[in-house]
Amino acid sequence: MLATKLKGQITPNRKLIVEIPHDMAPGAVEVILLREAPAKAAKATRGKAAHPAFGLWAKRTDVNDSATYAADLRRQIEQGADRRG
């Protein structure tokens, strides 16, 4: 089976409109529709953090970018440089 990616539209009366390239021979096809998932609403935390570690580094003056700091910690652990004893 050969696959060809085409873009189309679904009309308000639920019809699929797709432009078929001229080089495609007539015959039976199987259609799979892929749609983007709707955006999920963020969960409300109701005044408390979603995880106990949330804000763990908030008051640290030596951590400017928590994502970079966490990545550096992971890299050190993966390389066996964790020497806390």
Q: Is the pTM of this model over 0.75?
A: no
How sure is the predictor about 12, in pLDDT bands with cuts at 50, 70 and 90? very high
Query: Looking at the predicted structure, is the pLDDT value of residue 20 above 80?
Result: yes
Type of residue found at 59: K
CB 50 within 8 A of CB 43: yes
CB 74 within 8 A of CB 68: no
Phi, psi of 46 (to 5 degrees): 55, 50
pLDDT for the residue numbered 60? 83
Two tokens, residue 62? 């030596």
pLDDT for the residue numbered 83? 58
Query: Looking at the predicted structure, is the pLDDT value of residue 13 above 90?
Result: yes
How sure is the predictor about 82, in pLDDT bands with cuts at 50, 70 and 90? low
- Alpha carbons 43 and 40: distance in angstroms, whole number: 9
